[in-house]
A and B are shown apart, each in its own frame.
Chain A
Amino acid sequence: MTSALELHDVTKEYSGTPPVVALRSVSLTIATGEFVAIVGPSGSGKTTMLSIAGTLERPTSGRVVIAGSSVERLSDDELADVRASEIGFVFQRFFLLPTLSTLDNVANGLLYRGIALEERRQAALSALKAVRLDHRADHRPSQLSGGECQRAAIARALLGDPKIILADEPTGNVDSAQGSEILELLSELNSDGRTIVVVTHSQEISDALPRTVRVRDGKVESDTGSKGDDNGISSA
């Protein structure tokens, strides 16, 4: 099995007085098709880990490998290309644009791929069907519940057909019933073969996932490890 995501000796330091070290020499390999939870207390560096893995920021030192190729030599524009085609992001606060309909918010997932609006909307509609939200396509995000917003955001992340989905506290702003629905949705995507990394506070989620990486003070404290080709949540 090839690796989807590798961090090698990644250190991230934020300048300031004194400088803040968010990650200290973190190494982590996530294989294609894995479903991984990253847990840890607030400020432990797990969100930094996710944004470095997603090329949203560069490590101070260390290497990041995405789908087998090292990204540290890539320019900012090339990193944008990687995000456009390889990675889907899901955020705790959804980041749906309030002036757009749900459909158009989802269609934005392909905006920077140079695909025509009509085509984007068609793709968005089938993505909304996949997350069982097509009946809300014409609603504004303000008319949706938190869980519905997150499902729309997942549909948007899915639109570019990324191999990797990085989710930062995807259930942080939704109630528990909707939270388990979100988790179910993510595990469906995982069974389709996508690699999914979830940063979470929730013990329930991490218990449900096949692999849990525990982070503390910028270091990996424990890692339940890869369970071979056992990708499904069902066996956990």
Chain B
Amino acid sequence: MESRPHNKSAPELTGRSHLRARDLWGLATLGLRGRPGRTVLSAAGIALGVATMVAVLGISNSSSAQLISEIDSLGTNILTVTPDPSLAGNTAELPTQSAAMVRRIGPVNAASALGGVGSGVDVYRNDRIPSVNTNAISVYAAQTNLLATVQGAVVAGHFLNRATSHFSAVVLGADAARSLGIDRGDGSEQVWLGSHWFAVVGILDKVTLAPELDRSALVGYPIAKQMLGSDGGPVEIYVRADPTSVNAVASVLPASADPAAPQDVSVSNPTDALIARADASSAFQSLFLALGGVALAVGGVGIANVMVISVLERRSEIGLRRALGARRVHVRLQFVAEAVTLALMGGGLGAILGGFTTAVYAAMRGWSTVVPVSALGGAVAAAVVVGAVAGVYPAMRAARLAPSEALRSA
């Protein structure tokens, strides 16, 4: 090495210690490269926390994306018309002719009414069941085009048709059938309905667009009028509108359904509520997110712990750096950067693990995988913050070490 001239006359102690930002990266990974096993283990805590958070967000997003695409495939052009229950002095039924009147609206493709039956008409497994045990199943009179209008399907038997609507025949919703313990829809099983025996001719699949049908027992309009005290007034009308005119149809529905009292009619689009529900985070999701947060915090404590030990082991390195001219802040920066790098590695690993978990879960359910970028970014950012906080205490200890003492220690 060529030596520069030493002819500075006056004492000149003006050279300032300085650490380049680019060199900080090398310093941050130096200790980690030296002990790869320990590095992986201490990053694992953070990885678990981040993986949990990403997987929870990924799975719930995939699930709601799936639900929304299901709803989209069923069509968002469905509207329901119900008598507004909030207004007093009103019977909870629409006028008898309302379904027919709604059908006359131009852009309405289909409309199907669900009629009430007389009070006290409930369905039981047999005639020995106490009348209070209704299983919360409602009995309705249904028009034969109901299933097509709500795009439902039967899992057993058939829906009501013109013939069975006149007989003691009932179609059960999915939950209603399970509550009653019935799984055959071939008419061989009977239920006790409104003090008559009704044969179960069909069992519905879950109805996404009209979940209220899942806990109902549906009978034909004619038999309901004849035996169950129905006056034919609908409690709900399902309307399929032309997809381009849904809003226009919605605005004229009250007056068409009940020209005498349009203000007592409420119109809603069930897909709106379903989509809102799909988007809403469940309490379960919050719980798991919180668990992920706890894992992340524990991971941070683990990093702090390992870093404190690392500082003790690297006392001579710290002393050497001080002897080479490192200021306290340079030592502090090195150890904070190391903790942040450790957490970043854990965060990256966790994001990959969480995404992978989501993909596996979604594949098992036949969903498409949706992992929001904000969840990935947020989880990794949280990991970095945890790493920085975890690194502060060990870094302070490292910077506090007296250089001479650090160099003398074994």
Instruction: List A residues at the B interface (Cβ < 8 Å).
Output: 32, 47-48, 51, 54, 56-57, 66-69, 71, 74, 76-78, 80-86, 89, 91, 93, 95, 97-100, 108-109, 111-117, 123, 126-127, 129-130, 155-156, 158-161, 163, 192-194
Contacts and interface: CB of A to CB of B under 8 A. Distances in A.
B324 A83 contact: yes
A109 B403 contact: no
Nearest to B325: A84
A210 B238 CA distance: 109
B22 A112 contact: no
A130 B1 contact: yes
Contact of B1 (A84, A112, A123): A123
B325 A114 contact: no
B15 to A, nearest CB: 3
**Residue with the highest number of chain A CB atoms closer than 10 Å, among B12, B34, B320:** B320
A115 B403 CA distance: 23
B330 interface: yes
Contacts of A89: 323-324
Contact of B34 (A83, A99, A158, A194): A99
B17 A86 contact: no
A192 B11 contact: no
B327 interface: yes
Interface stretch (B2-10, B78-86, B115-123): B2-10
Interface in B355-389: none
B404 A51 contact: yes
A77 B322 CA distance: 10
Given A68-B10, A69-B11, A126 B2 contact: yes
B403 A112 contact: no
A76 B400 CA distance: 11
**Residue with the highest number of chain A CB atoms closer than 10 Å, among B15, B328, B402:** B15
Interface of B: 1-4, 6, 10-20, 22-23, 26, 30, 33-34, 316-317, 319-330, 402-405, 407-408
A67 B12 contact: yes
Given A54-B323, A99-B33, A113-B325, A82 B13 contact: yes
A56 B322 contact: yes
Nearest to A82: B13
Contacts of B325: 80-81, 83-85, 112-113, 160
19 contacts: A32-B6, A51-B403, A57-B402, A66-B13, A68-B10, A81-B17, A82-B13, A83-B323, A84-B16, A95-B320, A99-B34, A109-B324, A112-B18, A114-B17, A114-B18, A123-B1, A129-B1, A163-B6, A193-B6
B407 A80 contact: no
Contacts of A112: 17-19, 321, 324-327, 330
Nearest to A108: B324
B13 A81 contact: yes
A116 B20 contact: yes
**Residue with the highest number of chain B CB atoms closer than 10 Å, among A82, A83, A126, A159:** A83
B18 A95 contact: no
A91 B406 CA distance: 12
Given A95-B320, A111-B19, 12 more contacts: A69-B13, A77-B327, A80-B328, A93-B316, A108-B324, A111-B326, A112-B17, A112-B326, A113-B15, A123-B1, A156-B324, A194-B3
Given A67-B11, A158-B1, A56 B404 contact: yes
Nearest to B27: A111
A78 B327 CA distance: 8
B18 A80 contact: no
Contacts of B1: 123, 126-127, 129-130, 155, 158-159, 161
A161 B407 contact: no
B20 A95 contact: no
B184 to A, nearest CB: 73
Contacts of A80: 17, 322, 325-328
Contacts of B10: 68
Contacts of A82: 13
A34 B15 CA distance: 23
Contacts of B15: 81, 84-86, 113
A192 B20 CA distance: 30
Nearest to A3: B11
Nearest to B410: A93
Contact of B316 (A95, A127, A192): A95
Nearest to B10: A68
Contacts of A117: 22-23, 26
Nearest to A85: B15
A127 B1 CA distance: 5
Contacts of B2: 126
A122 to B, nearest CB: 10
A160 B323 CA distance: 12
A114 B323 CA distance: 16
A97 B317 contact: yes
A74 to B, nearest CB: 8
Contacts of A123: 1
A111 B324 contact: yes
A93 B11 CA distance: 31
A66 B402 CA distance: 20
A192 B1 CA distance: 11
Nearest to A116: B20
A91 B407 contact: yes
